[in-house]
Structure 1
Amino acid sequence: MKIFTTLLIFAVYLNSFSQNSKTEYKNFKLQENKTLIWQKVFEFDASKDSIVKLLKAFKSSNSFINKLDYNNYSFSGTSNYSKISDMNGMPLGVQTEFNCFIKIDVKEQKHRITISDLKFKPITIDFGGIETNNSFSIEDIAVRNNYHEIRKNNTARKVLTNLNNDLLNLLTLKENKNEDW
């Protein structure tokens, strides 16, 4: 009985330091107004100016973020369109390209990327003469309608997981290793 009680207390302790599963999943966070943002902090061993210089070079070589504008240690703007890389089992509404609003804030030894307003291109569906042209936002797929929480079903979690992996892949600074010497 003592072992069970100890394990129960330990589980409650660990759960108190974990993400709130109703409003956070991977790097996605549900805001008070029921909008979903993706936010990640990247740490560097460099000054603000060095990080800005790295980000400017990365921006010019990355087609997803090359339209961002720089102003006072911050980059912001709308991204170019991209697709989710793994489309297996994805709902029809997310099988088109997406774009979003990106804001990158730079501080000493770190920068934070925040993505909001993630929307997919409209998709035309024809039901035998009745045609609809719907565009979907990430909130349509992943946020419960009448509640302030992220959906727990496999479809929503898979979309968020795949988007998280793709955004990390698109937005993580990669070192250029020049092996020509």
Structure 2
Amino acid sequence: MADVIVVFPNKDNAINIRNILTRGGCEVIGVCTTGAQVLHYTELLDEGIVVCGYKLADMLYTELREYLPKEFEMLLVASPEKWQGDNMEGVVGLNMPIKVYDLLNTMNMMLQAMDRRRRKRKKERPQRDPKQQKLIKDAKELLMARNNMTEEEAHRYLQKCSMDSGNNIVETAEMVLSIMSE
């Protein structure tokens, strides 16, 4: 689940929003009053959502959005005239006065979207270059010839050795080739 940082110039407002989100099941890791504090938190995290007002003690939300890493999204809580013309990427707006139901539903929607993107990124396997593919193919062929394995068995063997040793499959294929070629 993504981490949530709440930032408002008024600390009491930030604490109230944090309490609402926490009761709604969100994990709020920080309550801030300045954009600089938010940026400090983002250095420690991989991704998350920043819930903020239009104007912070040290910057506007537009500046904060520019400084945030691309893995972070922003939920802006402000009156419509403050943000409706700004179509910034990664910013979702929520109208003031805020309703608990709307806040929780919007946060859940954003968290689900982040979760879907995270799963999609995990599914995308890194592409191997032809040299790496040839190493794996050669190791499988050697295993098939020496140990009377099918291609699937040889591939599973390389995967298992890779996981057991903590190396990637290319390094494992190199090891198999160096050991069995002797």
TM-score (norm 2): 0.24
More relative contact order, 1 or 2 (CA 8 Å, 6+ apart): 1
Of the two, which has the highest radius of gyration?
2
TM-score (norm 1): 0.24
Q: Which has the higher strand share?
A: 1
